[in-house]
Amino acid sequence: MNEISPTIVLSGLIVVLICVAGYFIKIRRRRQRIAAGAYDRPTMTAVASGCPVCGAPQSPGMHFCEQCGARLEPPVAPSSCPGCGNRVTPGERFCEQCGTALSR
Ligand SMILES: [Zn+2]
Ligand SMILES: [Zn+2]
């Protein structure tokens, strides 16, 4: 008697189905988690223009936060030499590269 019992075949099939279903459910859950995380993450642009302490959006030109009163550091002016375009250390009066007087 080499005949395989149908119950064994059926149970084997069920085990395979459960494994496959579990695999797909796992992938689906991971995708949902990734999608949810992407929506929860704040955008970098909102942080860049906001208060460094409370994150409230600030209008340009303000020296103190409208929400918490924290001092807002003015954005560092592009410190490059007008003569040669060399990067200049803030506070320097003359360009290290070409000697051009830096208006500060
Ligand atoms: Zn603030
Ligand atoms: Zn220069």
Residues 38-54 have pLDDT tens digits of 655 554 443 357 888 89
Ligand nearest to the CA of 68: 1
* Residue 47 resides in a domain: no
pLDDT on residue 73: 74
* Residue 25 resides in a domain: yes
Tell me which of 27-31, 37-41, 55-59, 67-71 is least confident. 37-41
Whole-number average pLDDT of the chain: 80
* Residue 81 resides in a domain: yes
* Residue 67 resides in a domain: no
* Residue 31 resides in a domain: yes
What number is the average pLDDT over the span 65-70? 91
Ligand nearest to the CA of 55: 1
Domain residue limits at 88: 74-104
* Residue 91 resides in a domain: yes
The b/e string for 43-68 (b: 16+ C-beta within 10 A; e otherwise) is eeeeeeebbeeeeeebeeeeeebeee
Q: How far is the CA of 91 from the centre of ligand 2 (A)?
A: 14
- pLDDT per position as a tens digit, 53-66: 899 988 877 888 98
The structural domain count of the chain equals 2
* Residue 65 resides in a domain: no
What number is the average pLDDT over the span 79-94? 85
Q: How far is the CA of 66 from the centre of ligand 1 (A)?
A: 7
Beta pairing partners, 71? 64
Give pTM, 2 decimals: 0.29
Between residues 77 and 97, the one the model is more confident about: 97
As given in the structure block, the two tokens for residue 85 are 């375009």
Q: How far is the CA of 75 from the centre of ligand 2 (A)?
A: 22
Share of the chain above pLDDT 90, in %: 14
* Residue 13 resides in a domain: yes
Tokens 């360009």 belong to residue: 95
pLDDT on residue 40: 59
Beta pairing partners, 11? none
| Environment of ion ligand 1 (residues, CB < 5 A) | 51, 53-54, 56, 65, 67-68, 70
